[in-house]
Structure 1
C-alpha cells in the first residue's frame, strides 16, 4: 500500500489522479486538514492530515468518522466549530500553522518546546 498526501485545493485534479491510478493500491489522503477534507473525500480521498488532532483529538476523530460514514453535513457542522483555530493556522500563507498548534498546547499546560526556526539553503 502506498499513501499519497494530496495537499492542493484541487478536488477535480485529485479525482482524475485517482481515476487514472485505480488499478494500483494507493491510499489518497487530504493533506489540507479538516477544512478541505469534505471536498477531497467527495473526490475520493480517505483520511486527512490534522493539526487539530494535537489539541482536540475528539473533534478530529469525530470529523473523520462523519466523513467515513458519508455524513458530510455532520462533518461540516463539526468543522465550523474549529474555524477560528484553522483560520489562525492559515495566516501568513500557513506560516503560523505549527506556531498556533504549539501555542494551543502550551495554553493547555503541555510544554512542547519552541517552534524550530526556518532553515534556508538546506
Structure 2
C-alpha cells in the first residue's frame, strides 16, 4: 500500500516540478512598488515620550500585581488549615501548665508572681 502512495506522490510532484516558467507579463516587478507601500516587519522601537513610558510602566506594574495577587490567592486556597475542631480535637498542653489560672497569695496575704 505504501508503494502505491509513493508512486502517487511522485506522479503529483512531477507535474509541479515541470511547470513552465512564468512569463514577463505574469511576474510582478518590485520597481512598481512605491516606498509608502512597504510593510515594516521588524520590531519597532518603543516611543520614548514621557506619557508612553508612564503607560508602559503602569501596565507592567498592573499585570505584575495582578499575577502576584492570583498567586497569593491560589497559595491560600491550597494551604492546610491551622485551626482544630475544638470540642472534638484538643491541642497539646505544655508540661508547665498546672490547670486553672488563679491569683496565688502568700500566707501573709501578699500576691505571688
Identify whether the pair has TM-score above 0.5, normalized to the shorter chain.
no
Q: Which of 1 and 2 has higher RCO (CA within 8 Å, sep 6+)? A: 1
TM-score, structure 2 as length reference: 0.18
Structure with a larger share of its residues in strand: 1
Structure with a larger share of its residues in helix: 1
TM-score, structure 1 as length reference: 0.17
Return the index of the structure with the highest Cα Rg.
Answer: 2
